[in-house]
């Protein structure tokens, strides 16, 4: 599986999630399922070097 970065916006807050998925559409749907009221702003493949330096929140690590 590939890691994807999904950007979501809920009201005035933006959040970036790292999701393991088969393709970008599945990653976007998983993010939307966890945050139904949020708007998906972008989906991209994870950049190992850049994302390692600036890690993002994972889907399972969301705080409620």
For 9-63, what is each residue's pLDDT tens digit? 988 999 888 899 999 999 999 999 998 999 999 999 887 776 666 666 665 554 4
For residue 15, the SS3 value is strand
Q: What is the DSSP letter of 26?
A: H
pLDDT at 64: 45
The model's pTM: 0.73
Instruction: Give the start-end residues of each E strand in 22-61.
Output: 39-45, 57-58
pLDDT at 1: 82
Burial-class residue 27 by CB neighbours within 10 Å (0-12, 13-18, 19+): buried
């Amino acid at each position: 599986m590939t890691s994807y970065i999904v950007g979501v916006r809920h009201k005035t807050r933006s959040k970036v999630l790292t999701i393991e998925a088969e393709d970008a559409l599945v990653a976007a749907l998983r993010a939307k399922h966890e945050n139904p009221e949020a708007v998906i702003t972008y989906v991209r493949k994870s950049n190992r070097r850049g994302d390692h330096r600036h890690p993002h929140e994972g889907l399972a690590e969301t705080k409620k």
